[in-house]
Structure 1
Amino acid sequence: MNFSKYLQYAVVGAFALASCKHGPPTATKPGKYSSTTGMEYNTEEGMKVADYKGIPEGPGLVFIEGGRTVLGSSEEDVAMTHDNIERTVTIASFYMDEAEVANIHWLEYLHFVRKDSSEEFYQSALPDTTVWARELSFNDPYVDYYLRYPGFRYFPVVGVSWLQANDYCTWRTSKVNETLAGNADESGSSSGGGLFKKKKKGGDAGGEAAEGTDDSGKPKISIENGNTLPNYRLPTEAEWEYAAQALIGTQETGNENQENKRIYPWDGRQVRNPYGAKMGQFLANFKRGRGDYAGIAGSLNDGAMITEYIYNYPPNDYGLYNMAGNVNEWVQDIYRPLSFEDVEDLNPFRRNGFLDPAEKYDKKGYQSLIDDHVRVYKGGSWRDVAYWLSPGTRRFMAEDSATATIGFRCAMINAGSNK
């Protein structure tokens, strides 16, 4: 070996040792030099490696530690659907909103949409307040007041379709990342324009902006910088069910066996609090029986004729509020009755009709309601009986439909870590 080559290898080796003298490199401490080439980072010739201290804290989110669980209905199948048979799966750790998206959050969304986007899109983003209207019930005040009256600010937004909820997630991602990346001015308006602008000749600006590019197609926010969050999105059905189970609260340290299972997002087989000063109080907002939404005057037990304050009931062991009752919640998955046996056992998710095509279901002949545009919703609502409070129950509705009993919350991957 000639001297120059020896010197070259020696220098590379020295760089590698220098980068590892405080232990092996990590995402937050990659070192000054590459551990495979010895090249120096952040020089004119070297690769740019941004400072990274871990995923930024996302507003409203709580961490959900993943793991193995048994998904599926643990109660008798009173609807006789047999569409969520028990099976063992593993769910990766993720983040989820601690509470349902509320009216004030949707009004904030409408505020920025009206500023930044087309009038056409603004109109499409308005919730359907007529979901409260009933021919044989005097719910007229909710049609006018529920969304905008200040007293209802922190009640869950309803009347939003699955499609509208997805648009909200896209907007929220952009707005949060503008703030984190320092791209918002003092007024909070977007420097890059709205996400949902009118189509221009040659392309759709809205679609590009949602992917982190400006109108010219240049990168707007760099993922490599690590100073922005992954996309807010609807949780998958498996993530939602896993988070609602909250079995972390039943687990003993060091015990690999899952020895307990819950019918509801809390311990026990009852829907009332069995302990302390609040003994006997309901643990969720649901319909107790025919015509009984709240109890009698002077002792209003669950206290809610309709929806209720999003923080009103005790959180589960992950710190999530109202994973049972108040409103049902949209999840990402399209509905199929056999998803439990079709999807993977790691992060299960059904995004389309793969293995179970819509053509198998006679929707045109009115023999089925199933196609590729019906989505799952979970959790039970103020209008549902206790059976639907169990995390394993599931129902579906068209993705462009809305009711007074369905809202949503957002989720996010835990990027760069398994814990």
Structure 2
Amino acid sequence: MNFPNYLRLAVVGLVTLASCGKGGPPTASKPGKYSSTTGIEYNTEKGMAVANFKSVPEGPGLIFIEGGRTVLGSQSEDVTMTHDNIERTVTIASFYMDEAEVANIHWLEYLHFIRTDSAEEFYRSALPDTTVWARDLSFNDPYVTYYLRYPGFRYFPVVGVSWLQADDYCTWRTAQVNQRLAGEGSDGGSKKKGGGLFGRKKKADAADAGAEGTASNGGDAKNNISIENGNVLPNYRLPTEAEWEYAAQALVGTQEVGNENQEEKRIYPWDGKTTRNAYGRKQGQFLANFKRGRGDYAGIAGSLNDGAMITEYIYSYPPNDYGLYNMAGNVNEWVQDVYRPLSYQDVEDLNPFRRNGVADPADKYDKKNYQSLIDDHVRVYKGGSWRDVAYWLSPGTRRFMAEDSATATIGFRCAMINAGSNK
């Protein structure tokens, strides 16, 4: 007897539902052989192709930051009288963040690859401004020449990088990591022409057009970069201000299991009200690289305060309770947000973020007549630096600078969403 197609589908659907009862409901890594809503078989001529997926690939250099509810805002006296980060309760979704600041060696790697496969104009635009070290009344001239390229500074944080340059680095890093994960690799420094992210066009490939659930039609799913395959990572990017501040607080280290109350607060990314280590063999040692006072960048020879006259090795000083290094001091760090003084009251309470021209337009600020420095091209930076006093080490403090500007005191680290999971 010949059954209509819709009856066949109904029978298959019942079989599918029955199998779900034995093996449990479908999951991202075990979607089953059939659709749980139509009963149509996957990976057939008519069915949608569904790639194998185990878990999100591991992103190099990243630390998992478990999200949750917290109180953001300044924990100390507002000495600048800006009142631009008043306390408020928010929730931050789990995400990933670089365990340390992007270092000189990482930026030199970036320059190496884009010099190979991108336009010369873009390569030149990616060069850090090494003259940020130059001072009219200070002999910092050697840093102009040596800080970026000398091997001894390899794992010191890159500086002289604008927000725009840092954002471009995130784009490049995403492409390089995902090419490697997808099995294609990269040029490896070869002189091959015609590829690249910046300034040269790639040839179109007919196999690049894929079905909804998988990589290219007829292609090898393992070697095709696509979101649907699950063989790529989400974009590396600059963290939002809220993410950065949340990660710097690291209150996970003070939270009792099963206790829903947030009973502890931190002035700095560590316990206590001082900048010195209060425990163990390193008791009394400074926990960050900062300026102790007027003219005191490191302390007296033989008994240095923090051991760093300028920047320091990116893994110096103890990490916070998330495992992140130098979330206070060493260098300030760029974050995604456009600066507005009232962001704390404007942005939403779930994953707060300030973007251009929303709720508080730039034309409210009289920059044309030099009555304000605020527009849609100034970005927030956080964390304090080797040249800042302890006040700026508090996660709740915030400052801003034009996105195309750079200094010897600002670097950055990357972040990434936690895709497909709330944990």
Q: Report the TM-score, using the length of structure 1 for normalisation.
A: 0.93
Alpha carbons of structure 1 residues 83 and 214: separation in structure 2 relative to 1, 3 Å: farther
- Give the match's secondary structure for 2:23: coil
Q: How far is the alpha carbon of 1:222 from its aligned partner?
A: 1.2
Check if 1:230 corresponds to 2:231: no
1:256 matched residue in structure 2: 260
Counterpart of 1:371 in structure 2 is: 375
Gaps of 5+ in 1: 199-204
Pairing 1:186-225 to 2, within 5 Å after superposition: 187=188, 193-197=195-199, 205=201, 218=208, 221-225=225-229
Q: How many residues align?
A: 406
* 8 Å CA contact retained: 2:13, 2:36: no
Contact 1:19 1:32 (C-alpha < 8 Å) held by counterparts: no
Query: Closer, same or farther in 2 for the Cα pair 1:214/1:380, shift >3 Å?
Result: farther
CA distance in 1, matches of 2:186, 2:336: 33
Q: Note the C-alpha offset of 1:301.
A: 2.5
Counterpart of 1:168? Answer: 169
Deviations 1:346-387 (A, max 9, x none): 000001121111111111100100000000000000000000
8 A contact 2:12–2:40 mirrored in 1: no
CA distance in 2, matches of 1:31, 1:194: 38
Residue matched to 2:393: 389
TM-fit CA distance, 1:11: 3.2
Distance 1:150 1:283 in 2: 25
Aligned to 1:201: none
Stretches of 4+ moved more than 6 A in 1? none
1:71-86 map, 5 Å: 71-86=72-87
TM-score, structure 2 normalization: 0.93
Q: Distance in 2 between matches of 1:270 and 1:376?
A: 25
2:413 is the counterpart of 1:412: no
- CA-CA distance at 1:18 after TM superposition: 1.9
Asked if structure 2 preserves the Cα contact closer than 8 Å seen for 1:95 and 1:411, the reply is yes
Alpha-carbon distance in 1 for matches of 2:401, 2:10: 64
- Whichever residue aligns with residue 248 of structure 1, its letter is V
Please say if 1:328 is aligned against 2:315: no
Provide the secondary structure at the position in 2 that maps to 1:167. helix
Q: Give 1:17 deviation, angstroms.
A: 1.7
1:262 aligned partner, one-letter code: R
Q: Counterpart amino acid of 2:277?
A: N
Task: Give deviations 1:121-160, integer Å, cap 9, x for gaps.
Answer: 1100000000000000000000000000000000000000
Q: Is contact 1:16–1:34 with CA below 8 Å preserved after alignment?
A: no
Matched, 1:45 2:46: yes
In the alignment, does 2:299 pair up with 1:290? no
TM-fit CA distance, 1:38: 1.0
Most deviating of 115-124 and 180-189:
180-189
* Equivalent pair of 2:380/2:400 in contact (CA under 8 Å): yes
SS in 1 for 2:60: coil
Unaligned runs of 5+ in 2: 210-223
Question: Whole-Å Cα distance in 2 between the matches of residues 345 and 39 of structure 1?
Answer: 41
Question: What secondary structure sits across from 2:18 in the alignment?
Answer: helix
Instruction: Give the conservation status (yes or no) of the 8 Å contact 2:179–2:186.
Output: no
Amino acid paired to 1:13? L
Deviation at 1:6, TM superposition (A): 6.0
Measured at CA, do residues 144 and 73 of structure 1 come closer, stay the same or move farther in structure 2, by a change above 3 Å? Answer: same
**How far has the Cα of 1:187 moved from its partner?**
3.3
How much identity, in percent, do the aligned residues show?
81
Q: How does 1:85-124 map to 2 (within 5 A)?
A: 85-124=86-125
Contact residue 66 and residue 94 of structure 1 kept, 8 A:
yes
Name 1:240's counterpart in structure 2.
244
CA contact (8 A) 2:112 2:189 kept: no
Q: Aligned with 1:88: secondary structure?
A: strand
Q: 1:410 to 1:7 in 2, by over 3 A?
A: closer
Partner of 1:399: 403
Shift of 1:218: 4.5
CA contact (8 A) 1:192 1:214 kept: no
For the 8 Å contact 1:245–1:265, the answer to whether it is kept is yes
Question: 2:283 corresponds to which residue?
Answer: 279
Deviation at 1:217, TM superposition (A): 11
CA RMSD of aligned residues (A): 1.9
Contact 2:9 2:39 in 1 (8 A): no
Distance of 1:350 and 1:8 partners within structure 2? 49
Alpha-carbon shift at residue 58 of structure 1 (Å): 0.1
Residue 317 (structure 2) pairs with residue 313 (structure 1) = yes
- Provide the C-alpha distance between the structure 2 equivalents of 1:255 and 1:337, rounded to a whole number of angstroms: 34
Q: Give the 3-state SS of the residue equivalent to 1:174 in structure 2.
A: helix
Distance, in Å, in 2 between the alignment partners of 1:191 and 1:38 is 47
| Greater CA drift, 38-47 or 170-179 | 38-47
CA distance in 2, matches of 1:255, 1:381: 35
Offset at 1:193? Answer: 1.1
Give yes or no for contact 1:183–1:191 (8 Å, CA) kept in 2. Answer: no
SS in 2 for 1:243: helix
* CA-CA distance at 1:15 after TM superposition: 2.3
Partner of 2:218: none
Give the whole-Å Cα distance in 2 for the aligned partners of 1:392 and 1:348: 14
Spell out, residue by residue over 1:170-190, the C-alpha distance to the aligned partner (whole angstroms, 9 max, x if none).
000000001001112573658
Distance of aligned partners of 1:132 and 1:75 in 2 relative to their CA distance in 1, 3 Å threshold? same
